[in-house]
C-alpha cells in the first residue's frame, strides 16, 4: 500500500518552552500531516538523553524523555501555575535547543508539578515507595501478541499473564536465586542469577522453567500474579499511577533508582559508584530505595506523565490516519540504567567491566576505525532465555510506536567488537550476531512485527539474506544514489518493499546538499530527475518528486527538504560532538499552501493514506 510521511523529531516542534514537546504545537503538526495527505510521522528516538544530548545514546532503552512533557498540560491539570513556568529560562533562540538551560531549569518545574500531583491525589512518598518495591519484585507478564490489528485498525497491546504458579525463590548470601519450583512467570531484572527464562506460547502460558546453573542470566520470580490493569482505564489518577508502576515494573524501578543515584553521585557514571551500589548488593539496593524515595517517585511520575501525554498524542494521530514511525537505537549507552541493571545482557566480566565495546573497523575515511564505546550484547546468553530482554524492549517500543525503524540493522548479522581499554578500533574483530533467530522469537512472542530496517552502509550477502528472511523493508536514500554510478539507491533499482528517502537525520538537508556536491554530481542528478531548474529550491522539490515517483511503498521526506532549508537545519553530523540535535522549527512556519503542495504530490503518485487497518 503506497503512502508517504514526514521525518520531524519531537525536539524540533515549535514551542515556547525551549524544546519541542507534547503541546498544542504537536497536535497542530499532526493536523498539518493530515491536511498534506501524509500517512506517517517518523520521529527520532524519544528516550532520556545524557551527555552529548544524542537520542541514540539514551539513559534508558525503555523510558521517555522528560523534556517532552508539555508544561501546558501540567497547567491545565492544575499541577502548575502559569507563573511557575513563565519565570523560567529555557533558552533565547527559537530555532535552536539550549540543552544547558533545559538542564538547569526544567526539572525544577517538573518537581513542583510532581509535588502537586501527589498532594492533589492524596498520595504519600512512603506508601508509593512500598508499591515500587513490591512491583520491583513482581514478575512482568509473559508477552502475548501485541501488534495485531483490531477492526478499527488500532494496535492491540496486551500482556496477559499465564495462569501458572510462580516459583518461590530463596536468596543466598551472594544474591543468587535458588529455584525451587518448575513453573514460573519471570523477566530479566538484574537482581538474581542462575535461572533460565520460560518460553511463552502464543496463548500466554509458560513452559516449565529449567534450571541453568551456568547461564549467568538473572531472573525474577514471585508467587504474586502480575497486575494486568491498564493505567489509562482507571477511574482516578491515584489508581492510574499505582497501576502504571505495576505495569512498567520490568524497567521503571531500576530506571528511577538509577537516576536518583546518578543525581546523588553528581552525574557520575554508575561504573564509578561505590561498590555495593555498582554491583547492586540486595541490602544496599533496599537501603537506596528508602534513602532516595522522594527522588525515585519523582522519576516514576515523570515517566507516568510522559506516557500519558504521548499516549494521547499518538491516539490523536491514529484518529487522523497518521501512523507513528519510531526509531530504535541498536546499542545502549554504557552509562545507562540498562547496563547497570542488566549486566548479564552484555559481555562483561565478573567485576561488571565490559570485555569488548562497539566500534567500526578502519576504512578509507577513518584509518584507525571508529570507537563507539557501547557495551556489546551477550547474544549466546540471551539466546538461552529466548532473548527476554529484547522481547520486553520491543514490546515496550510498540507502546510508543505503530512502526519501529531499527537503527544499524546490520548489527544483527555481524558486529565489530573492540577490546575494552583500546584507544582506537584498529584491533577489533568481526563477530556473528543472532541473525534471524532473534526475529523468529520476537514474532513468536509478539505477533506481527511492523519494522523498517536501517540497512545503509556496507552490504554483504549475509546482510541481504537477513533482510529478505525478515521481510522488513530496507532504506533507499536518494542523496547516496546521485553520488555514485548505477547505485542501488537510485529509483530504477528500487523494489516495492522498501522506504525511499531524500535524506535522513544524518544527511545534509537536500537544498544544502545540492549546493555542496560537485558539478558532475549535480549534472547527473539534473539529468536523472529531468530538472532544468536553476533555482536550488525548485531543484530540491524536483528531487522530492523523484522520491514520490519511486515504486517504494513508503516515501519519507525530512521536513527541512519541503521547506528548502539549508545547512543550519541539519540535525546531526556523524563523527562530531557539538551542534547536533538542536534545530527547531520557528512557530507558525507551516502554511496551508505548503500542505496543499505536498498533497498534490500525494495524489499524483497514489500515496493517499488508507484506514490504519488497511496499512501494512
10-residue mean pLDDT profile of the chain (616 residues): values are 96 97 98 98 97 94 98 98 95 96 96 98 95 70 49 36 32 31 28 30 28 34 45 93 94 97 97 97 93 98 98 97 97 97 97 96 86 96 98 97 97 96 95 98 97 92 96 97 89 97 97 96 96 94 98 98 97 91 96 98 94 47
Q: Residue 258: its pLDDT value, please?
A: 98
C-beta separation of 114 from 260 below 8 A: no
User: Is 174 one of the catalytic residues?
Assistant: no
Contacts of 127 (CB under 8 A, 6+ apart): none
Catalytic residue among 84, 115, 506, 542: 506
Look-up of cell digits 554508575 = 270
Contacts of 235 (CB under 8 A, 6+ apart): none
What is the distance between the alpha carbons of residues 396 and 185, in angstroms, rounded to a whole number? 18
Catalytic residue among 73, 407, 455, 546: 407
User: Is 327 one of the catalytic residues?
Assistant: no
C-beta separation of 428 from 224 below 8 A: no
> Measured over all CA atoms, what is the biggest interatomic distance in the chain, rounded to whole angstroms?
76
Grid cell listed for 91: 533558552
What is the distance between the alpha carbons of residues 174 and 189, in angstroms, rounded to a whole number? 16
**Residue 485 burial by Cβ neighbours in a 10 Å radius (0-12, 13-18, 19+):** exposed
C-beta separation of 51 from 39 below 8 A: no
Catalytic residue among 454, 546, 553, 561: 454
C-beta separation of 324 from 452 below 8 A: no
What is the distance between the alpha carbons of residues 397 and 395, in angstroms, rounded to a whole number? 5
Look-up of cell digits 533558552 = 91
Residue 197, number of CB atoms within 10 A of its CB: 27
Q: Residue 144: its pLDDT value, please?
A: 53
Between 125-136 and 293-319, two packed helices, what is the crossing angle to 10 degrees? Answer: 70
C-beta separation of 197 from 219 below 8 A: yes
User: Is 506 one of the catalytic residues?
Assistant: yes
SS (H, E, C) 233-286: HCCCHHHHHHHHHHHCCCCHHHHHHHHHHHHHCCCCCHHHCCHHHHCCCHHHHH
Amino acid at each position: 500500500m503506497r503512502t508517504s510521511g514526514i521525518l520531524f523529531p519531537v525536539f524540533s516542534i515549535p514551542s515556547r518552552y525551549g524544546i519541542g514537546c507534547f503541546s498544542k504545537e504537536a497536535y497542530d503538526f499532526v493536523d498539518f500531516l493530515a491536511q498534506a495527505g501524509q500517512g506517517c510521522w517518523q520521529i527520532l528516538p524519544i528516550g532520556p538523553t545524557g551527555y552529548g544530548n544524542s537520542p541514540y545514546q539514551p539513559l534508558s532503552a525503555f523510558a521517555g524523555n522528560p523534556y517532552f512533557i508539555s508544561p501546558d498540560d501540567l497547567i491545565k491539570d492544575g499541577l502548575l501555575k502559569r507563573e511557575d513556568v513563565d519565570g523560567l529560562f529555557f533558552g533565547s533562540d527559537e530555532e535552536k535547543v539550549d540543552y544547558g538551560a533545559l538542564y538547569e531549569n526544567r526539572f525544577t518545574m517538573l518537581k513542583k508539578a510532581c509535588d502537586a500531583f501527589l498532594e492533589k491525589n492524596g498520595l504519600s512518598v512512603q506508601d508509593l515507595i512500598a508499591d515500587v518495591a513490591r512491583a520491583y519484585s513482581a514478575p512482568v507478564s509473559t508477552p502475548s501478541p501485541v501488534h495485531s490489528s483490531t477492526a478499527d485498525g488500532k494496535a492491540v497491546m496486551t500482556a496477559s499473564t499465564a495462569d501458572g504458579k510462580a516459583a518461590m525463590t530463596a536468596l543466598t548470601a551472594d544474591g543468587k536465586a535458588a529455584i525451587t519450583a518448575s513453573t514460573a512467570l519471570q523477566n530479566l531484572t538484574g537482581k538474581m542469577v542462575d535461572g533460565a527464562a520460560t518460553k511463552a506460547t502464543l496463548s500466554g502460558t509458560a513452559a516449565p522453567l529449567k534450571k541453568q546453573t551456568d547461564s549467568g542470566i538473572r531472573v525474577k520470580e514471585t508467587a504474586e500474579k502480575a497486575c494486568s490493569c491498564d493505567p489509562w482505564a482507571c477511574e482516578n489518577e491515584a489508581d492510574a499511577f499505582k497501576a502504571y508502576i505495576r505495569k512498567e515494573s520490568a524497567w521503571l524501578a531500576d530506571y528511577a533508582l538509577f537516576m536518583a543515584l546518578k543525581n546523588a553521585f553528581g552525574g557520575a557514571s554508575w561504573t564509578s559508584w561505590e561498590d555495593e551500589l555498582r554491583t547492586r548488593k540486595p541490602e544496599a539496593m533496599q537501603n537506596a530505595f528508602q534513602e532516595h524515595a522522594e527522588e525515585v517517585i519523582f522519576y516514576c511520575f515523570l515517566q507516568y506523565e510522559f506516557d500519558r501525554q504521548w499516549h494521547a498524542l499518538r491516539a490523536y494521530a491514529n484518529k487522523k490516519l497518521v501512523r507513528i514511525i519510531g526509531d530504535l537505537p541498536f546499542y545502549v549507552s554504557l552509562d545507562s540504567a540498562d547496563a547497570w541493571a542488566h549486566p548479564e545482557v552484555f559481555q562483561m566480566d565478573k567485576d561488571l567491566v565490559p570485555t569488548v565495546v562497539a566500534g567500526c573497523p578502519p576504512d578509507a575515511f577513518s584509518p584507525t576505525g571508529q570507537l563507539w564505546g557501547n557495551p556489546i550484547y551477550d547474544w549466546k546468553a540471551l539466546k538461552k532465555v529466548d532473548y527476554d530482554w529484547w522481547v520486553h524492549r520491543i514490546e515496550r517500543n510498540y507502546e510508543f510506536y505503530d512502526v519501529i525503524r531499527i537503527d544499524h540493522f546490520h548489527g544483527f548479522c555481524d558486529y565489530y567488537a573492540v577490546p575494552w581499554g583500546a584507544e582506537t578500533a584498529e584491533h577489533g574483530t568481526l563477530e556473528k550476531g543472532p541473525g534471524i533467530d532473534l526475529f523468529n522469537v520476537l514474532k513468536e512472542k509478539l505477533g506481527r512485527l511492523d519494522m523498517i530496517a536501517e540497512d545503509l552502509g556496507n552490504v554483504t550477502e549475509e546482510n541481504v539474506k537477513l533482510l529478505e528472511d525478515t521481510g522488513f523493508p530496507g532504506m533507499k536514500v536518494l542523496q547516496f544514489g546521485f553520488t555514485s554510478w548505477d547505485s542501488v539507491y537510485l529509483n530504477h533499482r528500487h523494489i516495492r518493499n522498501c522506504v525511499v528517502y531524500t535524506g535522513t537525520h544524518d544527511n545534509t538537508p537536500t537544498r544544502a546538499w545540492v549546493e555542496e556536491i560537485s558539478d558532475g554530481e549535480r549534472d547527473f542528478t539534473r539529468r536523472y530527475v529531468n530538472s532544468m531548474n536553476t533555482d536550488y529550491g525548485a531543484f530540491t522539490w524536483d528531487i522530492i518528486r523523484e522520491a514520490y515517483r519511486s515504486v517504494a511503498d513508503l516515501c519519507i521526506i525530512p521536513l527541512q527538504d519541503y521547506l528548502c532549508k539549508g545547512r543550519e537545519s541539519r540535525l546531526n553530523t556523524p563523527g562530531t560532538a557539538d551542534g547536533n540535535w538542536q534545530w527547531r522549527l520557528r512557530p507558525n512556519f507551516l502554511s496551508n499552501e505548503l500542505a496543499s503542495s505536498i498533497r498534490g504530490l500525494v495524489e499524483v503518485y497514489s500515496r493517499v493514506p488508507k484506514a490504519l487497518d488497511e496499512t501494512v
